[in-house]
Amino acid sequence: MIDIPSPESTAQAFEDRYGRRPDGVWSAPGRVNLIGEHTDYNDGLVFPFAIERRTWAAVGRRDDRLLTVHSGAMPEPAQASLDALSPDDFDGWSAYVFGVVWAMRERGVPLEGRTGFDIMLASDVPLGAGLSSSAAIECAVAIALNDEWDLGLTRRELIYICQLAENGAVGAPTGNMDQTASLMGEPGHGVLIDVRAETADPVALHFADEDLELLVIDTRVHHEHATGGYGERRRSCEEGAAAMGVPSLRDLAEADLARAAELLDDVTFRRVKHVVTENARVARTADVVQADGPRAIGDLLVQSHASMRDDFEISCAELDLAVETALANGAVGARMTGGGFGGAAIALVDAGRAEEVGEAVEAAFAEAGFTAPIVFVVNPAAGAHRDL
């Protein structure tokens, strides 16, 4: 990917590579999840927001049926054909792009008679940090093609297309929080998602009004959802729901946990307990942030982290140290964010103390002998749109 990208630089990179101007430039953001982890594939509640870090896609139609995609970091473009689109042929990162086209076809978008396209990608969403760099690519490509091919698909349909690309072409068994946040984000707002009800409502977060900043602490511990413990957690949730006789864990409330403790083995019970209590925390967070403001959500963030550390067991030493150090240095709240097993933590801090908290985390990591983390501020930003 090219350095410090922008819509203009991405258009220029397209022109340098393909020898013509692109038809347009579209972009989609990464996301941070404020609260609600591993609830999305359980039909539950999630409360992420889109961030300013984005992936840009400069796109130009071709006059044949080929699809090519290039990013500054790759020496050769990846290529596919609209006539023979199979996830088996997608290679590495290009699956995020071609997977969207494949998923469009799978969900009933006819590809006959359409022309192919060239794409230049550029991104400043860090890879593997739990900030949904993959959803940013999928969503940027999806809205670009929706315009280029004049498909008239709704954002809701694009969410499902991008999720199918992730599940069916990339092979990661994720829910659709990332794609929903990337497509539905609004500046200054979180996206309160109810996966079962298929709703995604903007809720003002008021961080800046309350003089707060949200720090991302990228531990640089790598996670790999396609092969890691993510799928295993998902299976535990399905087993827990089946044993409790409900279609999904969304159908259980905190009052059902006593019965779950009797019916389920210890590990499955703790997985179920996390999801059930996390759904309740998401609902409470959305209520509290609207009634009392963002300073009042700190305890809920901390409880969420404890639940992931102790019950769902998806944290790691680096994430725990990031959270503990941020809290010890005055953070209002902190938790790991994303799929877990590495990636990033978030800390809600007084704007004036962001630097101090970041330095304290860096010092604690150095002392523990961990790889230096990357700490930066994120702001709730706009979802996917056309830039040029």
Catalytic residues: 178
Binder of ligand GLA out of 22, 338, 342, 358 (CB under 6 A) = 338
Q: DSSP letters of 47-115?
A: EEEEEEEEEEEEEEE-SSSEEEEEETT-SS-EEEETTB--GGG--TTHHHHHHHHHHHHHTT---TT--
Token code pair at residue 340? 């877990």
> Residue 342 interacts with ligand GLA (CB under 6 A)?
no
Query: By C-beta, is 40 or 118 nearer to ligand GLA?
Result: 40
Minimal distance, residue 198 CB to ligand GLA, in Å: 15
Minimal distance, residue 359 CB to ligand GLA, in Å: 28
| Torsion sign across C-alpha atoms 76, 81, 85, 88 | negative
Number of residues that bind ligand GLA (CB under 6 A): 10
DSSP classification of residue 187: T
Minimal distance, residue 177 CB to ligand GLA, in Å: 5
Measure the CA–CA gap between 326 and 361, rounded to whole angstroms. Answer: 7
Chain residues 163-192 in contact with ligand GLA, contact rule CB under 6 A: 174-175, 177-178
Measure the CA–CA gap between 225 and 163, rounded to whole angstroms. Answer: 14
Measure the CA–CA gap between 378 and 260, rounded to whole angstroms. Answer: 38
Measure the CA–CA gap between 255 and 327, rounded to whole angstroms. Answer: 30
Minimal distance, residue 314 CB to ligand GLA, in Å: 8
Binder of ligand GLA out of 339, 342, 358, 373 (CB under 6 A) = 339
Query: By C-beta, is 37 or 318 nearer to ligand GLA?
Result: 37
Q: Where is 116: in which H helix or E strand?
A: none
Measure the CA–CA gap between 305 and 285, rounded to whole angstroms. Answer: 14
Query: By C-beta, is 177 or 334 nearer to ligand GLA?
Result: 177
Site string for ligand GLA, 34-63 (x = CB under 6 A): ---xx-xx----------------------
Query: By C-beta, is 58 or 282 nearer to ligand GLA?
Result: 282
Residue 345, C-beta contacts closer than 8 angstroms, at least 6 positions apart = 216, 217, 219, 305, 319, 322, 323, 326, 334, 335, 336, 337
Query: By C-beta, is 99 or 175 nearer to ligand GLA?
Result: 175
Interior angle at CA 330, CA 325 and CA 332, nearest 5: 105
Tell me the pairing of strands 117-123 and 66-71: parallel
Measure the CA–CA gap between 61 and 25, rounded to whole angstroms. Answer: 12
Query: By C-beta, is 118 or 218 nearer to ligand GLA?
Result: 218
Interface region with ligand GLA, contact rule CB under 6 A, candidates 32-40, 102-110, 137-145, 325-333: 32-40
Distances (CA, A) of 270 to 202, 261, 273: 31, 9, 5
Tell me the pairing of strands 24-35 and 66-71: unpaired
Minimal distance, residue 41 CB to ligand GLA, in Å: 6
- 295 C-beta neighbours (distance < 10 Å), count: 17
Site string for ligand GLA, 131-170 (x = CB under 6 A): ----------------------------------------
Minimal distance, residue 313 CB to ligand GLA, in Å: 14
Query: By C-beta, is 70 or 335 nearer to ligand GLA?
Result: 335
Tell me the pairing of strands 189-194 and 199-204: antiparallel
Minimal distance, residue 38 CB to ligand GLA, in Å: 5
Query: By C-beta, is 37 or 218 nearer to ligand GLA?
Result: 37
Minimal distance, residue 328 CB to ligand GLA, in Å: 26
Residues that bind ligand GLA (CB under 6 A): 37-38, 40-41, 174-175, 177-178, 338-339
